Each structure stands twice: as structure tokens, then as C-alpha cells.
Structure 1
Amino acid sequence: MPVLFVGHGNPMHAIRENHYTHTWTVEGQRLPEPQAIVVVSAHWLTPGRTHVTDAPRNRVIYDFGGFPEELSRVQYDTVGDHEVARVLAHRLAEYEAALDSQWGLDHGTWSVLKYLAPAPQVPVLQISIDDTLPLPRLHELYGRLRRLRDQGVLFIGSGNIVHALGRARWEPEAPAWDWAEQFDADTAAALTDRRLDQLLDPYGTWREARIAVPTDEHYRPMVAALSLLHPEEEVRFFNASIDMGSIGMRSFVTV
């Protein structure tokens, strides 16, 4: 199965038709049929431990505020799978992965799967992010799941490489900040060349990182997706633009 990283951006994309959502739809139509879909979302942080969803049906989590009521009425009906959850947790066992029946699908997951996989006939699960782990260790952790791709598991990281919400420009068609474009371009080049040392140490590599990634919870799903690639695999970018001036929508899929 391929691996995707999706820049999910503003939750409002879930109820809009625009070039981002159109591209998600097209990319979803290109995907082979998986046996299961597993998402690492920037919006499920579990400090000190990694969790895996384990419920027969996934509840939809509306983890935001101040948005139109319409957004909180979006439905995304999916099932979980205990055996898949158990296998994922077993692969992560050294890090004390926990099965979690309380979480569901947060907006980092359903807002993009709504387009990528509108009516999945296979189980959908999430894996949380232990945001206390250094990035190299996080990369090693998720890399333990790579072989499950050969068994039909589609892995998706959902976050944003550039995510400086406090500097967002809310006016329509707002231009990107120079530092946002520079960091996006630098990380894209590093992804193309697979310069892991740089990508796993963004603050020590690029001076724009501190402003483009003030906190790294949205960057970490990219690291998760990166860890699942085979050494010889290349990636193809899509939605490679900056939204709202400071939210990088750049996404990639293996080719």
C-alpha cells in the first residue's frame, strides 16, 4: 500500500468545495483498496505513551470551537477492528502502546478521509502521538509498522509541515509569509532527497523553523509518514501551497 501525508489545515475544508478538497477526492480515487486505514493525526496527543483506537464503531470527535454549527453535524460512519488494533499495539509494544476504546476519529482524520475515502468498507483506526519523544525516536517507533503496508494497511499522517496558526492571515486569498514559503521549500527539498538528519532536526537545521513550527504537533505526523517509507521510495507532492499565509497544505504520497 502507498503511504500518504496530508496537510489538513482549516477544519472548514470539511464543508467546503475548493482546490484542496478536490485534490483529496482525486487522490483518494487513485488509491488501491486497503484492508484497513490507519491515521496518525496531529490532534491526538498522549504524552508518555502511544495509544491505538480499539472500538467496534468510531465516534466522530468535534475537537474545535468557534466554527459554524454545520461543521459539528458532519458525520463519518466507520468501524474499528480489534485484531488490527492488537497487531498495531504489538508492533509498538516496547513503547507500551495502549488500546484505547474512548477516543474516536478527530477532525485531523475525518475532515480529510471524508474526501479520500468517503464511504470506507474497511476498518479505520488512529494511532496517537507521544509528543514527549524526540523526533528521531518517534521516527524509529512508527517505522516498526512499515511491514504492515505489505498486508494491505494504508497509513496516513495528517498534520501540517508549516503550522503557525498565531500568524494566520484571515482575509481571502491572503499571501504567504516569506518565512513560511522558505521553510516549505526547504523541507520539500529535504523530503525529495530523503535528508533524514535535517528533517528530524528542523530547529537545528533551518532558521525559519522556530516561526514556521512554533510547536511541532502538526509536524510530527509528517515524521510518522516518513518513517513508513522504504529507502528506495520516492514521493509525489500535491496541494503544495500555503493557506491563510502560514498553514502549509503540502502533502505527499509514495510513487
Structure 2
Amino acid sequence: MLDTASLAATPWSDLPATERMPVLFVGHGSPMNAIEDNRWRQRWQALGHELLSRAQPPHLILCISAHWLTPGWRLTAMAQPRTIHDFGGFPQALFDQRYPAPGDPSAARFISQSVLQPGSSLPLALDEGEWGLDHGAWSILKPMFPAADIPVILLSMDDSRPATEHFAIGRQLAPLRERGVLIVGSGNVVHNLRTMRRDAADNQAYDWAIEFDRVTAEHIAQKRLPSLCDFQQLGAVAQMAHPSWEHYLPLLYAAGAVSEDDEPSFFNEGFQGASISMRSVMWR
């Protein structure tokens, strides 16, 4: 097991190579999944136990959340990121949730200098206090890693940029997997809140939602990962599946960080409210 105390004192440029970490894309769905004892949350708990049981568990989590959009790209670089409750209309129990995982300013600086923003020679910008851990991050990480002792860094997204640029940043993030970094994209393969039906069962969904989910799953299963960038070619189906792109884009970062010999495995297949796909995938 990695000695996290000694790693914390080691400059990131000098860290030893580790066993390659998996890559995750997690469908987070409703914020209530963070506290309800449902099958989605139970699978997150089991997955966290599996990852912590590895001979070399993750010592840093880099999360790309659908809920942090910025001009250009930024990394959280504060030592103690705050828990952000970026939603409304939910029970007080959800607002009472805290996830006090530390940040890692040294790692953020290293990653910033290692990854260039597409189309320029600019490094990733650093956010030293404005943001924190939004619910796209903590709602899944708290069930997975309840001890909150693994440092977490968030990477923002510029949703004005083309899909290929998000995938390209994922490619640049891939070497971090050899340094004990668990890369986690948090969004949804299908996400349309306007058409939600709260009375729908997990196996019920609109035809367009099923079709978009199916095509995406086929690209992943057949390792056609660059094809994920062409989702808008599905026309009206894509427009219904994603009236806006932000919940799909985290998948491109995760897919970009995948190596040719990584094998995908799906979990949490199904839908919430007929129009939110909970499909998730681990590559390892």
C-alpha cells in the first residue's frame, strides 16, 4: 500500500510510478442518491470498497463534474475545499451533508503545468478559493470513500468548446493514472430534466433516451471511444438526450484517459425518471 504520509511530502515530479489506476465515469443522477439507500448508492459503496482493497488504492482523486463550468479550464487548488450545495428544493438532510476531503495544492500545481489548454500553450488555471466540491463530486465520492481522507481535486469544463477538446484533455490526463490518481467523470449519459417522470421505474425510459444510451454503450463496449465526440450526429435524439451538454462532457474526459488495453465494465445500468441514464463504466 502507498505510504500517503510520505507521498504528501514528495514533490509530484518525483513521485514513483504505481500500478495504473482505473478510470470511472459515474452517472450521478438526483442529489438524493447521496443519502437514499437505493441500488445506485449501494453500488457506489461496493465500488469504493473494491478500490480501497486494491494493493495500491488511490491516493488522489481527480474529478470532472458536470456542475462546474468556467471560461477555459480550472483546477481547485485549495487545501480544504468546501462542500457546495448547488441545488434547491430538497430536504434539509441533503443540505446538512458535508464531505471534508482535503485538497492538494501541490498536486494541482503539478497537473496545471502538465496539461495545456487545447489550442494554446496556456496551462490549466488554478482556483484557490472560489469553488470547492459540488454535488456532482461529493454525492458519489461520499458513498465510495466515506472516510474523506483521499485528497480531491476538481477540474472544470468550458462547455463552449468542441467535444474533441474535452476528449483531448482526457488524453493529457492519462499519465496521472500511473501516479496513483483515480480519474472520475461525474455526469449522465442521458440527462433531460424537462421530461422527467418521477413515477417511472428504473427500467422505463423514453425511446430517444434508450437509443442514445444504447449507441453510447456500443461505442464504449467496442472501444470506439473517439466516436463519443460525434454524439451530435444523432440529431434530434441527441438534442432530446442533452438539451445542454454539461452532463455528457465528463464522459469524454474519462474516455480520453483510457488506454488501448483497458477493458470497460458497466454498472448501474438503468434510468431515473425515464430521462436520466444512470449507466456508469469502469475501465481497467
TM over 0.5: yes
The amino acid of 2:251's aligned partner reads M
- What is the CA–CA distance in structure 2 between the aligned matches of 1:207 and 1:78, rounded to whole Å? 40
Of 227, 235, 238, the match for 2:264: 235
Query: 1:80-133 CA distances to partner (integer Å, 9 max, x unpaired)?
Result: 111110111112233441110221000000000011111132211100011122
The amino acid of 2:65's aligned partner reads S
Could you tell me which residue of structure 2 aligns to residue 167 of structure 1? 195
- Cα separation, partners in 2 of 1:172 and 1:188, compared to 1, 3 Å: closer
Of 83, 88, 105, the match for 2:106: 83
Query: 1:178-229 CA distances to partner (integer Å, 9 max, x unpaired)?
Result: 1111111111011111223431011114651111111110000000100000
- What is the CA–CA distance in structure 1 between the aligned matches of 2:37 and 2:173, rounded to whole Å? 34
Q: How does 1:25-174 map to 2 (within 5 A)?
A: 25-31=45-51, 32=54, 33-47=57-71, 49-93=72-116, 94-101=121-128, 102-171=130-199, 173=201
Could you tell me which residue of structure 1 aligns to residue 4 of structure 2? none
- Higher-Rg structure is 2
- What is the CA–CA distance in structure 1 between the aligned matches of 2:151 and 2:41, rounded to whole Å? 22
Provide the secondary structure at the position in 1 that maps to 2:82: coil
Provide the secondary structure at the position in 2 that maps to 1:245: coil
- What is the CA–CA distance in structure 2 between the aligned matches of 1:128 and 1:242, rounded to whole Å? 26
- State how many pairs are aligned: 254
- What is the CA–CA distance in structure 2 between the aligned matches of 1:172 and 1:231, rounded to whole Å? 38
Q: Percent identity?
A: 41
- Cα separation, partners in 2 of 1:92 and 1:107, compared to 1, 3 Å: same
Range with bigger deviation, 105-114 or 168-177: 168-177
Could you tell me which residue of structure 1 aligns to residue 31 of structure 2? 11
- What is the CA–CA distance in structure 2 between the aligned matches of 1:172 and 1:192, rounded to whole Å? 27
State the TM-score, normalizing by the size of structure 1.
Answer: 0.96
The amino acid of 2:154's aligned partner reads Q
State the TM-score, normalizing by the size of structure 2.
Answer: 0.86
Of 14, 22, 29, the match for 1:2: 22
- What is the CA–CA distance in structure 2 between the aligned matches of 1:138 and 1:14, rounded to whole Å? 27
- What is the CA–CA distance in structure 1 between the aligned matches of 2:151 and 2:255, rounded to whole Å? 23
> Are the aligned partners of 1:181 and 1:242 in contact in 2 as well (CA < 8 Å)?
no
